[in-house]
Chains A and B, each alone.
Chain A
Amino acid sequence: MTKRSVSLDDGVAASVEEAAKQDGVSFSAWLSTAAERQLRVRQGLRGVAAWEGETGSLSAEELAAGEALLARLRSGVSGVASRVRRR
């Protein structure tokens, strides 16, 4: 475990304090989990970029279709695979 001194905006610190309390974890543990998630997102987007490097970038239409599908699934509606035209 590494100890670091970090500075946070007052509002952010208060929100983290509240969120940590709600989640039943320490301030440090909450921040660590948030940082871990952000790192995973970053690594994941690099993985997507690597795949795009091999096969071609996702088009604006494909990106929009992905966003729409995500929104549909998050709203609790099932879907079936569909193809989007590659530009």
Chain B
Amino acid sequence: MSAASATRREGLAYGLGALHAAARGDRMMWALHRAALSNGIVPVTPAVTVAEGYRTEARSDRLGELLAGTEVEPFTDAAARRSGEIAARCDTSDLNSIAVVELAERRNCAVVAQRQTVLRTASALLGHELVLYAV
């Protein structure tokens, strides 16, 4: 997408890749996180992503430092149903990635995550142009 036709995003949605990047000490990830907070933007991530992060990441102390400045959005009944439906249409069991896309679309956020085809597929299904910082 060209800058001229791009749609402005209100915030940042963190996927599992963002949590792992922070935990391994990716300095660009931390610089981005700090920039967001300094501009009054509190990044957001789904609760299911946090669960997956703590399941798969040994550096839980660093996850805690990142999440201190991140809104963890509860996986509500409505979000769960919508994510399940999108996952079915994408033919994927990766509910974590789908939850991130669903949240990003609903709250008009750019996504910070690992590059994954499912992110783009789900965004296209929602008619939402994915703006991704691939970590």
Contact = CB atoms under 8 A, between A and B. Distances in A.
Main secondary structure of the interface of A (DSSP, over half): helix
A70 B37 CA distance: 10
Interface in A48-67: 48, 50-52, 55, 58, 62-63, 65-67
Contacts, number: 129
A37 B40 contact: yes
B6 A76 contact: yes
Interface in B1-42: 1, 3, 6-10, 12, 21-22, 25-28, 30-42
Contact of A48 (B1, B6, B33, B131): B33
Interface of B: 1, 3, 6-10, 12, 21-22, 25-28, 30-42, 62, 64-71, 110, 112, 115, 129-135
24 contacts: A40-B42, A40-B69, A41-B37, A41-B40, A41-B69, A44-B70, A45-B69, A46-B68, A47-B68, A51-B65, A55-B25, A66-B28, A66-B33, A66-B34, A66-B35, A70-B32, A70-B35, A75-B9, A76-B1, A76-B110, A78-B131, A78-B133, A78-B134, A80-B134
